[in-house]
Amino acid sequence: MAEDPHALFEHWFAEARAAEPNDAEAGALASADAEGRPSVRMVLLKGHDARGFVFYTNQESRKGRELAANPWAALLFHWKSLRRQVRIEGAVTPVSADEADAYFASRSRDSRIGAWASDQSRPLAAREMFEERYRKLVEAYDGEDVPRPPHWSGYRVAPERIEFWSDRPHRLHERRLFVPDGDGGWSESLLYP
C-alpha cells in the first residue's frame, strides 16, 4: 500500500475521462454554513495537484458564502461506468488572483459574459430578466476583452482525507483511505465496506 493518492487519483481520473459519457470532471461539493447546515451541489474539477483540488465559482453564491463562513468542504467524484468513487475532505482556500485570471481567460467568451450576468444563487423574478442582462453585456463588451469579475474566483480543497472506493461483488467493496502521515507523505489503510 502507501501509494501516492494524487497519482492514484490522476490514474482513475484519466480512466474516467475515457469511460464516462459526460462530465468525468463533475463532482458533488458539500459545504456547510456557519451553523453547520449542509448543502451540496455539482461543480467541475478544473485542476488538481499535490496542493489540492480546484473548482471555480461566484464567491457571492450560496457555496461562496458558506465557504467564507466555514472553510471546510467535501468532494465526491462518482464514476458509475467504472464503478468507482473518490471522496475528498479538507480545508478550502481561494486560489491566487493569477490562477483565477488564467482560468477565466480560458473560458469561452459567452461563459465569461455569463459570469458577469448572473447573480448566482439569488432570487430571479423572471428568466427574461437574466437573458436581457446577458444580451446587454454582450453589447457592452462587443470587440473588447471580458475581464474576470471581482466576485468570481476559484477554491482549492486541500485534502486531509482521500478515500478510493471500488465496487466489488456481493457488496464486498474495497475502500482505501489516505491521510497525511505528518512527514509530508501519506498513510494508507483499509476500511470495511
The set of catalytic residues is 171
* Residue 144 to residues 113, 126, 140, 192, Cα–Cα distance (Å): 11, 28, 8, 56
Q: What is the distance between the alpha carbons of residues 187 and 9, in angstroms, rounded to a whole number?
A: 15
Q: For the beta carbon of residue 163, count every other beta carbon within 10 angstroms.
A: 18
Angle at 160 between CA 14 and CA 152, to 5 degrees: 70
- What residue has cell string 474566483? 153
Architecture of domain 5-107+150-191: Roll (2.30)
Residue pLDDT, tens place only, 112-122 = 999 999 999 99
Comparing C-alpha atoms, which of 35, 26, 31 is closest to residue 121? 31
Residue pLDDT, tens place only, 143-193 = 999 999 999 999 999 999 999 999 999 999 999 999 999 999 999 999 999
Comparing C-alpha atoms, which of 92, 38, 49, 65 is closest to residue 151? 65
Residue pLDDT, tens place only, 16-58 = 999 998 999 999 999 999 999 999 999 999 999 999 999 999 9
Comparing C-alpha atoms, which of 78, 75, 81 is closest to residue 21? 81
| CA of residue 180 relative to chain centroid, distance | 21
Quickly list H helices, the chain.
5-19, 62-69, 97-106, 109-117, 127-140
